[in-house]
A and B are shown apart, each in its own frame.
Chain A
């Protein structure tokens, strides 16, 4: 297996050259206080060292070893504890955290790059800091001052980790039907009782304490999603002076055997009257979750890119070394028994598809992160700017989560195919990438649910208004660059693809007015169509940044960008034609079957 190398060159290109992130940061006063281009660059450099040097080497063995459960205690794979300590010492857990409570206040545009490196290097491990950061976001946005002061500093530092406890045996997507109860005590605390399943890193030996954010129902709460509250439930009670007290009454009943991310513990958590405190208002638990949801969902999309990048690194190295058959036009390396498989057009097709998704996807996740930064940090005087960014985040988040994980899995599977039989064998790590990446299509809202969110809540729900925001952004780009010679081959197909997307959007909005199945019948293909088109837009922006530098560049970096863009437009973007046609056929053929007929 190729040693994972953090793709710093491309990250710098995306941040500085495609999006001019430093200008964005400078325009957001609160961000400008924390970061300047030099600091950002030093962070990237250091992140690259830790992820490539410390996290990546543990991944393969952790997959073989898995976590061990014994009598409620979970032991993490060899090396995880020490690696976690490294993350704590570097303050990486709190990279994007609120500076008031010990976070580093870095913008998401930068944090996203660190996340990608961490997930690409070792996804099973990466989930622990990721969930901790998510829990911090929820507490910071909705917790009382007291909760924040008591918990956030130790969570940002990582001395305590976080876990999200939503899912129950009978309730995954539909959290409205959960059964876990929270009963109030006189001192303002609650007793939490119930069973949660699939809780990632719900129990482990890497941190001193584990802070669970648990969804539960208060007595007399309304039925359904409007009757759910969010509670903070620590593994160990925290004394007023911050020291750890007695063990709370919660325990890990078992851990699951699963397809991948085996180095992470997936826990059954039993709460038996455990003490907890309300985060945010009673019955508004799902609202509180929504704040962090946009970040977490983008974070899962980034896991998809991380895995895809690792797959690309593996596959291209293999393709340059593996010799098999001759090039169609005759021997290219006659001194050898055969040519490297990189000479075969079909192997190149696979590698270029991966490159198109990975590099385009990295630009897209950074693009979404940029809107997150504006929506969070824009000055009060810039209400319009903030509103627009919020709209963009709402629209693009489900696309980032589902499209990047779907294409991430494709890229892992293609990488496996490049390795031939060796891709199926564990030793090379390639089949592990497929197994690890596969979870990203499921958790944090399955990709089917993301598609419903996009099509139903965001697009149809806003009667196309949110879509218009994105459409404007693309139209402005096309207009502003219409005389740009290097972009000429791209703008026309981009405009055509965008028109296709707009037409389909309008079509479905119309259909949905009198057919309740129209949304669900279109949604998954629609999200795919949206994502492919959005990546087309990203590739055009990449060309804009790369073209002026391609001429004098001897490294091949910029001219390589232009070639990958060409490939994406010629061979990937045409998928939008097929998708649009399928969507237009409507819901009839999907809803005709009775249950027996299946």
Chain B
């Protein structure tokens, strides 16, 4: 429970900074090209940052409460308030469902996948740079694989969506969650890289950096597999969602 919270909180912080960096570049970028690239990435990352982080943030808040056992349920400790407060995040400023439509429908598919490519290119470069780094192997290998799958899935969803517009809404939340875990994988790999470099150089904060590497490993082994279910689910098609007549929902 604690490691999940740690992986969420620290991964989320990294995603927020990454997104904020793009916002800064959009305003203060030196060249038109730099600003344009930042604009695209910002558009791509924003719905993920909003929806994915509020979803897994809520999960983490619930886990924090669970660590307290029965005391977590009692107002005095503040843990249940944290859960109640965190719940609104998934609702206001556009619900998770709406963010997901924005990501898949407007950002990814309307640009013919270009906005995703802007991001996966960076991931690809990072993977190539570290391809020969033995220590990074447990991170780079799954990340590279995921990066490719992400593109493939997007293609497939795009193809079905051209035939049936309802496919976008049928796949969107799973697509967004998948993308969130993928972005986190990239960020955790980057953090692991920095931490490993620091440890190799020698540092007075050995515990801090060791913990980063270990949390990255936890993320990759215990949380990242969630992408598998989202991948299957997003490809299941709209029919299973739309076949049910309105009356049958009430039975």
- Contact: A590 with B210, CB < 8 Å? no
* Contact of A509 with B by CB under 8 A: no
What's the Cα separation between A581 and B165 when bound, in Å? 33
A328-B70 contact in complex given A348-B241, A575-B229, A590-B222, C-beta closer than 8 Å: no
- Contact: A555 with B251, CB < 8 Å? yes
- Contact: B74 with A345, CB < 8 Å? no
What's the Cα separation between A86 and B156 when bound, in Å? 59
* A317 and chain B: residue at smallest CB distance: B250
A 334-354 contacts with B by CB, 8 A: 342, 344-349, 351-352
- Contact: A567 with B91, CB < 8 Å? no
Q: Which secondary structure dominates chain B's binding surface?
A: helix
A597-B210 contact in complex given A424-B88, A575-B229, C-beta closer than 8 Å: yes
Query: Which residues of the partner chain A approach B101 to less than 8 Å between Cβ atoms?
Result: 346
Q: Which of B6, B75, B87, B225 contacts A258 (CB 8 A)?
A: B75
Query: Which residues of the partner chain B approach A352 to less than 8 Å between Cβ atoms?
Result: 240-241, 244
- Contact: B246 with A566, CB < 8 Å? no
**Whole-angstrom distance from the CB of B234 to the nearest CB of chain A?**
9
- Contact: A417 with B91, CB < 8 Å? yes
- Contact: B97 with A257, CB < 8 Å? no
- Contact: A585 with B221, CB < 8 Å? yes
- Contact: A442 with B72, CB < 8 Å? yes
- Contact: B214 with A571, CB < 8 Å? no
A564-B222 contact in complex given A259-B73, A345-B169, C-beta closer than 8 Å: no
* Contact of A448 with B by CB under 8 A: yes
Query: Which residues of the partner chain A approach B211 to less than 8 Å between Cβ atoms?
Result: 593, 597-598
Q: Which of A435, A525, A556 contacts B245 (CB 8 A)?
A: A556
Query: Which residues of the partner chain B approach A431 to less than 8 Å between Cβ atoms?
Result: 84, 87
- Contact: A441 with B66, CB < 8 Å? yes
* A355 and chain B: residue at smallest CB distance: B249
* Contact of A589 with B by CB under 8 A: yes
Query: Which residues of the partner chain B approach A555 to less than 8 Å between Cβ atoms?
Result: 251
A329-B73 contact in complex given A346-B173, A446-B66, A567-B241, C-beta closer than 8 Å: no
- Contact: A328 with B169, CB < 8 Å? yes
What's the Cα separation between A171 and B161 when bound, in Å? 56
What's the Cα separation between A11 and B81 when bound, in Å? 36
Q: Which of A345, A574, A588, A590 contacts B229 (CB 8 A)?
A: A574
What's the Cα separation between A434 and B73 when bound, in Å? 12
- Contact: A320 with B246, CB < 8 Å? yes
* Contact of A173 with B by CB under 8 A: yes
* Contact of B236 with A by CB under 8 A: yes
Mark contacts of A558-598 with chain B using CB atoms, 8 A cut-off: 1 yes-contact digit, 0 otherwise: 01100110110011101111110110011011101110111
Interface size class of A (residues with CB under 8 A): 35 or more
- Contact: A582 with B69, CB < 8 Å? no
- Contact: A348 with B244, CB < 8 Å? yes
B 117-139 contacts with A by CB, 8 A: none
Query: Which residues of the partner chain A approach B217 to less than 8 Å between Cβ atoms?
Result: 588-589, 592
* Contact of B233 with A by CB under 8 A: yes
Q: Which of B65, B74, B208 contacts A256 (CB 8 A)?
A: B74
**Whole-angstrom distance from the CB of B64 to the nearest CB of chain A?**
12
Q: Which secondary structure dominates chain A's binding surface?
A: helix
* B220 and chain A: residue at smallest CB distance: A589
- Contact: A442 with B70, CB < 8 Å? yes
* Contact of A557 with B by CB under 8 A: yes
**Whole-angstrom distance from the CB of A477 to the nearest CB of chain B?**
23
A563-B74 contact in complex given A589-B222, A593-B3, C-beta closer than 8 Å: no
Query: Which residues of the partner chain A approach B247 to less than 8 Å between Cβ atoms?
Result: 556
Query: Which residues of the partner chain A approach B222 to less than 8 Å between Cβ atoms?
Result: 525, 582, 585, 589-590
**Whole-angstrom distance from the CB of A320 to the nearest CB of chain B?**
6
- Contact: A345 with B87, CB < 8 Å? no
Query: Which residues of the partner chain A approach B87 to less than 8 Å between Cβ atoms?
Result: 413, 416, 424, 431, 434
**Whole-angstrom distance from the CB of A359 to the nearest CB of chain B?**
10
B 134-190 contacts with A by CB, 8 A: 165-166, 168-170, 172-173
Query: Which residues of the partner chain B approach A348 to less than 8 Å between Cβ atoms?
Result: 241-242, 244
* Contact of B200 with A by CB under 8 A: no
**Whole-angstrom distance from the CB of A586 to the nearest CB of chain B?**
8
- Contact: B74 with A258, CB < 8 Å? yes
- Contact: A349 with B227, CB < 8 Å? no
- Contact: A421 with B241, CB < 8 Å? no
- Contact: B90 with A582, CB < 8 Å? no
A257-B221 contact in complex given A446-B66, A578-B226, C-beta closer than 8 Å: no
A578-B225 contact in complex given A258-B80, A346-B169, A564-B244, C-beta closer than 8 Å: yes
Q: Which of A438, A574, A586 contacts B73 (CB 8 A)?
A: A438
What's the Cα separation between A596 and B208 when bound, in Å? 9
Q: Ordered nearest first, which 6 A-B pairs have the shortest CB separation?
A: A560-B248, A585-B221, A345-B169, A597-B211, A574-B232, A259-B80
- For this complex, 10 residue pairs linking A to B, each with C-beta atoms less than 8 Å apart, are A173-B69, A198-B70, A256-B75, A266-B74, A446-B69, A563-B240, A567-B240, A577-B225, A589-B217, A596-B207
Q: Identify the B interface with A (CB < 8 A).
A: 1-3, 6, 62, 65-66, 69-70, 72-76, 80, 83-84, 87-88, 90-92, 95-97, 100-101, 165-166, 168-170, 172-173, 207-208, 210-211, 214-215, 217-218, 220-223, 225-229, 232-233, 236-238, 240-251
